[in-house]
Structure 1
Amino acid sequence: MIKPLEGVTVVEFAGLGPAPFCGMLLAQMGARVICIGREGAPPPSGPLARGREYVALDLKRGEDIARALDLIASADALIEGFRPGVMERLGLGPEVCHARRASLVYGRMTGWGQTGPLAHTAGHDINYIAISGALHAVGLAGGDPVVPLNLVGDFGGGGMLLAFGVVAAILRARAGGEGCVVDAAMTDGAAMLMSMIYGFQAAGHWQDARGVNLLDGGAPFYRTYRCADDRWIAVGCIEPQFYAAFMKGIGAEDLLDLPQRDRAHWPRLQARIAGVIATRTRDEWAALFAGSDACVTPVLSLAEAPLDAHNTARGAFAKSGDAWAPECAPRFVGYGQAEEVK
């Protein structure tokens, strides 16, 4: 498998959630990631800790600070996820590290960012996505905002964008020899992930309310439905030809006379579809639509997803001991080569 970041060295300061996720991504892409943890603490474990070298240091001791600086001096990038000012108080702030290596990329992962009125306050994913507009947009019509796990702030808007920023800054440093600080804030990242939705709203195609829009469960052709066995299918037949295939598949061709995008008809369409879907089990519907373009899939549990035929064929999950863990993504394949599946 191609490892595009081979030859890149990253020093990571052990933490929780988004910064380790960034370190995992960089390691899986081939970077050498040296994780500095606290002396006396167990090394990080679990899927986010994969692919690291681990060094335990006591950063209250001058000799261990010097050792950390030696590691940083030979690295392409540093990533840390502490509150603003913590690394500076340790004597490992950007200016000190830049003096040791001018091309160093200094990646900083925080919830609120290095500046702004909230920069020094505590928070978690739910708080960061709340002020971005993302949390308000998720949920059923007339219901409460629904927390989308911690995917939007911690990982999508946090660790993933930190990894992107670090790699972009490394390319810049290699071209010009000068590093920079990557200020990755989950509030900024969550807002950026909402770019398309803000664009829809600006164009008049999105109501600032939950569960009444095209992609938030408001459309009868883009939502989940409960089946006879109290499991669920996901329906995403946005395009007319896919919508027609779905409606024919459930025996509701008569409803194709109603304009698909006319919101006035959505309650009637949803009620009819829900009634039909409730007559069969999830797996019966999955079998009926298998291989079709109706955009229907079973909603799989965490236990079921690693065993799914498509995920198995792709090698999307691998066993780590007795537990499943997602594999590296995306894949890198040489031109003219067959993709390797583990």
Structure 2
Amino acid sequence: MTDSSAKTGPLAGIMVIELAGIGPGPYAGQLLADMGADVVVIDRPGGGMPKAVDGRGKRSIVLDLKKAEAVDALLKLVAKADVLIEGLRPGVTERMGVGPEACHAVNPGLIYGRMTGWGQSGPWSHMAGHDINYISMTGVLNAIGKDGQPPFPPLNMVGDFGGGSMFLLTGILAALVERGRTGKGNIVDAAIIDGTHSLMSFVHGMAGLGQWQTKREANMLDGAAPFYRCYMTADGKYMAVGCIESQFFAAMMERLPIDREAFGHQHDMAARAKQHEMLEDVFATKTRDEWEAIFAGTDACVTPVLDYVEAAAHPANAERQAVLQDGRWLHPQIAPRLATQPLATHFEIATKGGNYASILGEAGMTDPEITQLIAAGAVVANKD
């Protein structure tokens, strides 16, 4: 069980209410908990996703928000909270009685964080969607993959977590700073589509300089350049080549058995097909581990392509304790690292509904009141 009084870190003393969901909202809550916030998850009755890595450092209570008593209990928690995170469609929390207006009525200083795909307004705001849909509408998805083939989804890292969680967090932290000056709360409208558009700033900048095309596999960073792509090795694995700068490119070429004159200039567009083929042939002559040994410690920007299990064990990550094996889970270390916050050595994952008594007690509710909530079915009592 996570003890809220034992929390440390730069956000210690900040209470966050997280309405249970999946993806970007819970991940934002994880990062806030990692930084010391007391994150209380309002779970729903019944099944759903089991608690996993994004449940670490949090507490949980199960409230049936279809019942008025549960809504009243949640508003009591809101009255003491600093932040609320919700990832439902626009208007849902208002209909439940816990929208921004209702919450600000009991706590004017609350930061109300809203995580959606399409935003709180706009013609598509009430449509369903997933990461692949949001990034398809921003130009990101169209830029990924091989020319002449369908775009390839980059997991759900770009939309859900890059355009979603990170921008939700930015808004929440900015609003907390603002509240420190004004004493007033705020509403954060974090839309994955908006955040992903923002992530495209570099591409828009390059395009404005005439250095980016809408066509796939036609740009410096999309696999078109021989010096920025992956190559298969003799054992069917891969090396990632990213030597953009001329000095890094030279460092790579020094370690490859390739005739420099035959290869041609790094930025010779007419020679790219030949250069791709030459690099494919040479990387296929050795295993991934052999190539890693050749390029280790150099500025060639050539590295092995690892799966997530290999990545956790690799010395470059292991020596920094970047990923910890803790029970059944591989846990990424707290990031970013602050000089005043020690690295984590253990992560405790919330048990669904396991903290109801302490959470409600801290909200000022007595044991008889909690018993009444349980009897009414507003609270599902799991072991604290």
Deviations 1:166-198 (A, max 9, x none): 111111112111111100101111111111011
Q: Are residues 1:118 and 2:121 paired?
A: no
Structure 2 vs 1, CA of residues 212 and 49 (structure 1 numbering), >3 Å: closer, same or farther?
A: same
* TM-score of the pair, normalised by structure 1: 0.95
Out of 206, 211, 218, the residue aligned to residue 200 of structure 1 is: 206
TM-score by length of 2: 0.85
> C-alpha separation between the residues in 2 aligned to 1:159 and 1:238?
30
- The structural deviation recorded for 1:202 is 1.4
User: Which stretches of structure 1, 4 residues or longer, exceed 2 Å deviation after superposition?
Assistant: 39-44, 255-259, 339-342
Alignment counterpart, residue 332 of structure 2, candidates 326, 330, 337: 326
Shift of 1:153: 0.8
What does 1:308-323 align with in structure 2 at a 5 Å threshold?
Answer: 308-323=314-329
Counterpart-to-counterpart distance in 2, 1:195 and 1:230: 35
SS in 2 for 1:60: coil
Does the alignment pair 1:24 with 2:30? yes
Q: Is the 8 A contact 2:229 2:242 kept in 1?
A: yes
CA-CA distance at 1:165 after TM superposition:
1.1
Q: Structure 2 matches for 1:122-201, cutoff 5 A?
A: 122-201=128-207
d(CA) in 2 for partners of 1:168, 1:130: 28
Q: CA deviation at 1:39?
A: 3.1
C-alpha distance in 2 between matches for 1:242 and 1:201:
25
2:368 equivalent in structure 1: none
Residue identity matched to 2:265: P
Aligned partners of 1:124 and 1:103: how far apart in 2? 32
Deviation of the 1:63 alpha carbon: 1.4
Tell me if the contact between 1:103 and 1:174 (Cα under 8 Å) persists in the aligned partners.
no
The one of the two structures with greater contact order (alpha-carbon pairs below 8 A, sep at least 6) is 2
Answer whether contact 1:221 1:237 (CA < 8 A) is retained.
yes
The structure-2 alpha-carbon separation of the partners of 1:108 and 1:44, relative to structure 1 and needing over 3 Å to count, comes to farther
Aligned mates of 1:255, 1:212 — CA distance in 2: 24
The correspondence of residues 68-83 of structure 1 with structure 2, limited to 5 A, is: 68-83=74-89
Residue 118 of structure 1 and its aligned partner are, at CA, apart by: 0.3
How many positions carry a matched residue from both structures?
339
**1:109 pairs with 2:135:** no
Aligned partners of 2:8 and 2:231: how far apart in 1? Answer: 40
Shift of 1:302: 2.0
1:46 and 2:52 are equivalent in the alignment: yes
CA pair 332-253 structure 1, distance change in 2 beyond 3 A? farther
Contact 2:263 2:275 in 1 (8 A): no
Runs of 5+ in structure 1 lacking a partner?
Answer: none
Compared CA separation, residues 255 and 311, structure 1 to 2 (3 A): farther
Return closer, same or farther for 1:42/1:136 CA change in 2, 3 Å cut-off.
Answer: closer
1:93 aligns with 2:111: no
Distance 1:250 1:284 in 2: 12
Distance 1:65 1:203, change over 3 A: same
Which has the larger Rg? Answer: 2
Quick one: which of 3, 13, 34 aligns to 1:7? 13
1:220 is matched with 226
Query: Distance in 1 between the 2:120 and 2:261 partners?
Result: 54
The one-letter code sitting in structure 2 at the alignment partner of 1:197 is V
Partner of 1:250: 256
Q: CA deviation at 1:53?
A: 0.9
Amino acid at match of 2:299: D
Cα distance change of structure 1 residues 194 and 90 upon mapping to structure 2, 3 Å threshold: same
Q: Which moved more, 1:161-170 or 1:107-116?
A: 161-170
Match of 2:299 among 293, 298, 309: 293
* Cα drift, residue 322 of structure 1: 2.9
> Structure 2 vs 1, CA of residues 26 and 92 (structure 1 numbering), >3 Å: closer, same or farther?
same
Say if 1:224 and 1:89 are closer, same or farther in 2 by CA, change over 3 A: same
Residue 263 of structure 1 corresponds to 269
